[in-house]
Amino acid sequence: MKLQDVPTPAVLLDRGRLARNTARMSARAQDHGVALRPHMKTAKSIDVAKRATEGHFGGVTVSTLAEAEYFFDHGIRDLTYAVCVTPDRLPRARALVARGATLHLITDSVPVAKALAAQSSGSPLSVLIEIDSGEHRTGLPPGSADLLAIGEILHRGPGSTLAGVLTHGGHAYGCDTVHEIREVAEQERRAVVDAAATLREAGLPCPTVSAGSTPTAVHGESYEGLTELRPGVYMFFDLAQLGLGSCSQADLALSVVATVISHRPENGRLVIDAGGLALSKDTGAARMVPDAGYGWLVDPVTQARIGDLRVVAADQEHGYVEGTAIPYDRLPIGSRVRVLPNHACMTAAAYSTYLVTEGDDVVARWPRLNGWA
């Protein structure tokens, strides 16, 4: 099938770009002697996971228990659920462990650690302590007295084993230069290496020292003391990552194919059928790429940008395209365009299937998981 025949909007994955992105990150982690545990929250696809884990131990990171169950059902046995677990989720986690999964949970809370440690049936749960390396999302601040308290509880409790420490240098997304990203990468590394040292000095085990976001995994200079990296969006990249210098435009593997549905020269616009649902309402890349809008228009075959055309506004099923000069003749009603999205993680979530492309040929269809149930 050709892109011209695809019902739109639909999400596309460029096979060659995906292969290049996953191979590059795999080699980079190998070069630094650190394991790659790719974060599957962006792709949510076993077909992508198989490629992302090549050359490494085969474990992945997930953002929901639904993802953990999905990847386990498709043959991936080692999974880190990298969002703070709550006690009500433990029966679901235990059920997966009982089926044979190696599942690592994370916590930043003394009460939750007590609930994990107190569980008495089944195998002990493997738990990492989350450290806040500067993102201020979740995790213990450096130097928190709770680190040893939680470590002791998890190590002594019959229901838990202390697996180590984990952090996410998400504040790299706030950087303006590669130099700043390198500083965040070092902050991220130091936060968990120091926490691991604190645990070990207190006689506690800390086999895993886990860090990583795409910007810090791409630009970091040293990963000494880390045992694994957990980047995710590098498989696809997007305008936000382009703006952060994580990739070039030729690396952007995810796009949305859309159809021109209206010419409105009196408003200086062209309208496509990819709106807020098809692209997502995320405009986060604007900090780095001022004209990112909801995405850039590129040629469906060459993927070269069409002038400076971008989606400047989005209603549910309407995307409004503006630019210095709109080539209406080149883009008649019914013609196809590709849109390089602002934020791939949000855009991909609107679809249940990736159309895998080579040029303008659809060569495969890969299902993806959505939702939490």
Note the residues at the interface with a second copy (CB under 8 A).
Answer: 7-10, 41, 63-64, 83-89, 92, 108-109, 111-112, 132, 136-138, 141, 170, 259-264, 266-267, 269, 271, 273, 276-278, 280-284, 315-318, 320, 332-334, 343, 345-346, 349-353, 370-373
Beta carbon nearer to a second copy, 34 or 101 = 101
Q: How far is the CB of 221 from a second copy (least distance, A)?
A: 26
Closer CB to a second copy, 16 or 111, in the complex: 111
Alpha carbon distance 60, 49 (integer Å): 8
Give the Cα-Cα-Cα angle 47, 49, 51 (nearest 5 degrees).
Answer: 80
C-beta of 9 vs 164, nearer to a second copy:
9
Give the three-class secondary structure for 26: helix
Residues written for the chain: 373
Nearer to a second copy, 142 or 164 (CB): 142
Q: How far is the CB of 335 from a second copy (least distance, A)?
A: 9
Q: How far is the CB of 217 from a second copy (least distance, A)?
A: 17
Nearer to a second copy, 30 or 352 (CB): 352
Least gap, CB of 31 to a second copy (angstroms):
28
CA dihedral sign of residues 160, 132, 186, 58:
positive
Neighbours of 194 (CB within 10 A): 17
Q: Is 89 exposed, middle or buried (0-12, 13-18, 19+ CB in 10 A)?
A: middle
Least separation in angstroms between residue 144's CB and a second copy is: 9
Show contacts of 57-65: CB within 8 Å, 24+ apart: 59/35, 59/102, 61/37, 61/230, 61/232, 63/39, 64/372, 65/89, 65/92, 65/93, 65/96, 65/372
DSSP-assigned letter for residue 140? B
Give dist(CA 169, CA 162) in Å, integer: 22
- Give min distance, CB of 224 to a second copy, in A: 28
Alpha carbon 168 to chain centroid distance? Answer: 12
**Minimal distance in Å, beta carbon 12 to a second copy?**
14
CB 355 within 8 A of CB 10: yes
Choose between 62 and 229: whose C-beta lies nearer to a second copy. Answer: 62
**Nearest residue (CB) to a second copy, 155 versus 343:** 343
CB of 178 to a second copy, least distance (A): 23
- Residue number with CB closer to a second copy (28 or 168): 168
Name the DSSP letter for residue 55: T
Instruction: Give the SS3 label for residue 227.
Output: coil
Distances (CA, A) of 199 to 139, 143, 240, 296: 16, 11, 36, 47
